[in-house]
Amino acid sequence: MPVLQLNELQAVRQFLDAEVRRNVVIKLYTTSGGGIIIPGRECAACRPVQELVEEVAGLSSKVTLDTVDYYTNQSESLENGIARIPAFTVGRNGASRVRFFGMPSDQLLGILISAIIGASTRTSPFKLDTRRRLRRLKEDAHIQVFVTRDGRFCGETASMACAMAR
């Protein structure tokens, strides 16, 4: 059963077709489980998140989904900054600093689509002065945005954090 409504599917497909310039990889960190529930490894959100990203990736030939079993590939997961699941990254060539944890529903679906488009282009939403200041940072910055369904500025903040990560 589709996660997105038919009108949402059509709108997202048209938008991705028009805006995605280069190939993008969504790397999903989840658990395969195989139908077996192992105590301490339950992940109620893993299946719905996987269904959503599969659906979104299937809307564009330029978006590929790579699924990684978190528990059988923990060293790779931790190496890529993934310490909990469900999680996924969005980037080119499998490399990304943009990470999503949990279900990107409601306003965050737009952030996911924006992250896909941003990863496929070489443009930035920031003014030249801001880009210069970001490049002058001597150390990596670890930015986390926690969002709620009714958070007034959550979407804008998450969108800017994704752009900075790119």
In this prediction, residue 53 carries a pLDDT of 92
**Average pLDDT along the chain, 166 residues, taken 10 residues at a time:** 77 89 92 66 84 92 92 86 88 77 78 86 82 85 68 67 70
54 vs 47: CA distance, rounded Å: 10
In this prediction, residue 131 carries a pLDDT of 83
User: How many residues are recorded in the chain?
Assistant: 166
Q: Is omega for the bond preceding 2 within 30 degrees of 0, making it cis?
A: no
pTM of the model: 0.81
The answer to whether 156 and 148 are in contact (CB under 8 A) is: no
How far are the Cα atoms of 42, 115, 143 from residue 89, in angstroms, in the given order?
21, 9, 15
In this prediction, residue 27 carries a pLDDT of 93
Which among 156, 95, 82, 112 is positioned nearest to 8, based on CA atoms? 112
